[in-house]
Structure 1
Amino acid sequence: MYPLKFNNIYFDKIWGGRDLEIFRDNLPEGNIGESWDIACHPHGTGIVSNGDYKGKSLKELIEKEKEKVVGTEISLDRFPLLVKLINAKDKLSVQVHPDDEYGYRVEGEPGKTEVWYVLEAFEGANLVVGTKDCTKEQFVEAIKKGSFDQYMNRIEVKKGEVFFVKSGLVHAIGEGVIIAEIQQNSDTTYRVYDYNRGRELHIDKALETIDFSLKGGKSKGIKVEYPGYTKTYFCLCEHFALEKFDITNNLKDISDKERFYILTCTEGHGKIVYDEGELNIVKGESVLIPATLGQYSIKGNLSVLKSYVPNIEKVEKEILESCTTS
């Protein structure tokens, strides 16, 4: 096995734009709102773009190589993660995602918990993460009036900030941002309000899934210094872990036979060097590290997100040991 890149899957959205052209030269025409970069979903499945498996879909690759790709602790029935870039030139709808129980029961697919990394923030960039001083009754009244601003926890954001969006949390991506989003492999979204753009709303389902007790905010992370790089632990939950490496020279790592990794470059450029070769990685690209890759290095001056489905106890122990020895 070797590090895998995939063709970008682009989606034209009413709120999209052309900002991905800052670091991409393959955008199709239109207002591009989303690029699915590591995906294995009925609405979009990535096609390998490099190496011996070029032209195979991620679904086909998993069916052929099984645990060699995803790892021994990851179910072969459904790839667990979806990694995308979102370009919001205009604000997205006020929305919510269900949890797993509701998602499987009503939609036949998992719920959606996600995490946002602000890849670019332009003038006026903002996000909505949760409600404030709002009961369900007040929210229903706001839906009727189409007036939400007083209840929205709207935050001005900067490049490099991270926000954890749990299922059940009301949220909206505001205008003027490019977001790297790591999420459960689900495409279920319930729109509550869409600024009179004529798209379908899902108010009844949304009201059944919103958790008004949830509070949203910026993830501060735990940073640990190492020779040649820093590592920041941003979030850890049953669905995924997110870490960030700021590399100034060389980071040595090894794959985990129990699980795959996904690396997403957020700044700079470099190379992933492994036993049988090397692979360039630049800002905006994601690479799947198969469970059986073995030892590899990331060389260059770059920042990289690492996402994966964790063994929570194992990661918690790693964090404690890192903080103790650093």
Structure 2
Amino acid sequence: MKEVLFLNPVFQERIWGGNRLHEEFGYEIPSDKTGECWAISGHKNGEATIKNGEWKGESLAHLYANHPEFFGEKEKGQNFPLLVKVLDAKADLSVQVHPGDEYAQEFEGELGKTECWYVLDCQPNAKIVYGHNAKTKEELKTWIEEGKWSELLHEVPVQKGDFFYVPSGMVHAIGEGIMILEIQQSSDTTYRVYDYDRKDDAGNLRELHLKQALDVITVPCEYPVCKKVEEHTKGGVVTTLAEEHYFSVYRWDIDGIFHWQQKAPYTLVSIIDGAGRLIVDGTSYELQKGDHFLLPYDVTDTQWEGKFTAVLANNSQKRA
């Protein structure tokens, strides 16, 4: 095929959402309560479609299910394994946790949800909830029941460019005024632990999922360590943010002409700032902030030109 696949995002309205997805990226969003852009998604709750070329209008889910050769696989896949989002937290998100694969498959019928966050922008003094302070399950349960949130929750200040790896089982929450790029397993299962007694548009308290949360929260909390490695090369700087079980994530800062050969079966790319172009097999693709696309298996030799920043992800596999 040797064709770069650009994606049409799917937008999700959320009680905590805003309008920065339009202001920052120019997206046509459904309202000023838009919290999520599902930028590269094969999930049934928000299937992105191909924007260009032979497969224009087809869903990524259909392509993955019916053309495994595009993804370096020999057999048809069931569900595209990764999901890339842009989140606009105008208000605090709920304190939540996601299950691992085994629990999610047994009780939810889908993958677990390990994710990571790249902070695109944030207001001064922004912070996230990243983990908890309970030492035992009993202490965790007691503090939740008694509403001892200040004792329980571990808060971390954030700034633009920060990166956080959030494994399943970790309590977390994105704070007010933060915009992030999220790369995760393709799952839509979230268990709310606490939601600030917030009410929905109908005046009802939002549902909590305390039983499930207590089942899956890791106690004591385990904080992952991702080794950040910068490589300066002709045309740019490549920064490794994470190379983990479910995905590997990299940031590129391109300034000039950069040659790159794809080693993974496929790669997901999000342009988060600047502009440029990508040349593949003699075909030139214009790139701008807010573009999201997929490099299929047969796209190997690439040339990138311009001045831009991109975040790339793959599912940690190598070519056979």
Whether these two folds match at TM > 0.5 is yes
CA deviation map 1:127-181 (0-9, x unaligned):
1111125432232223223331222111111111100000111111111111100
Deviating more after overlay: 167-176 vs 213-222? 213-222
Q: Does 1:66 align with 2:68?
A: yes
Could you tell me which of 255, 258, 269 is aligned with 1:263? 269
SS at match of 2:159: coil
Q: Which amino acid aligns with 2:188?
A: D
**Kindly tell me: are residues 253 and 23 of structure 1, through their superposed partners in 2, closer, same or farther at Cα, counting changes over 3 Å?**
same
CA deviation map 1:180-203 (0-9, x unaligned):
000001111111111112111110
Map of 1:119-134 to 2, 5 A cutoff? 119-132=120-133, 134=135
CA deviation map 1:198-217 (0-9, x unaligned):
11111001101000233347
Tell me how far 1:270 sits from its aligned partner. Answer: 1.3
Alpha-carbon RMSD: 1.9
The aligned residue for residue 293 of structure 2 is: 287
Tell me how far 1:64 sits from its aligned partner. Answer: 4.1
Q: Is the 8 A contact 1:128 1:171 kept in 2?
A: yes
Question: Whose helix proportion is higher, 1 or 2?
Answer: 1
Tell me how far 1:284 sits from its aligned partner. Answer: 2.8
- What CA distance in whole angstroms lies between the structure 1 residues aligned with 2:39 and 2:274? 18
SS at match of 1:103: helix
The aligned residue for residue 59 of structure 2 is: 57
In structure 1, stretches of 5+ residues that fail to align are: 315-326
In structure 2, stretches of 5+ residues that fail to align are: 199-204
**Kindly tell me: are residues 130 and 85 of structure 1, through their superposed partners in 2, closer, same or farther at Cα, counting changes over 3 Å?**
same
The aligned residue for residue 15 of structure 2 is: 14
Q: Does 1:235 align with 2:242?
A: yes
The aligned residue for residue 175 of structure 1 is: 176
The aligned residue for residue 310 of structure 1 is: 316
Count of residue pairs the alignment pairs up? 311
Q: Which amino acid aligns with 1:131?
A: H
SS at match of 2:5: coil
SS at match of 1:253: strand
- What CA distance in whole angstroms lies between the structure 1 residues aligned with 2:55 and 2:76? 21
- What CA distance in whole angstroms lies between the structure 1 residues aligned with 2:260 and 2:69? 20
Q: Is the 8 A contact 1:255 1:292 kept in 2?
A: no
What percentage of aligned pairs have identical amino acids? 37
Tell me how far 1:103 sits from its aligned partner. Answer: 0.9
The aligned residue for residue 89 of structure 1 is: 90
SS at match of 2:119: strand
Q: Which amino acid aligns with 1:247?
A: I
Q: Which amino acid aligns with 2:302?
A: Y
- What CA distance in whole angstroms lies between the structure 2 residues aligned with 1:134 and 1:174? 24
Q: Is the 8 A contact 1:71 1:259 kept in 2?
A: yes
The aligned residue for residue 107 of structure 2 is: 106
Q: Which amino acid aligns with 1:293?
A: V
Tell me how far 1:261 sits from its aligned partner. Answer: 0.2
- What CA distance in whole angstroms lies between the structure 2 residues aligned with 1:229 and 1:29? 37
Tell me how far 1:276 sits from its aligned partner. Answer: 4.1
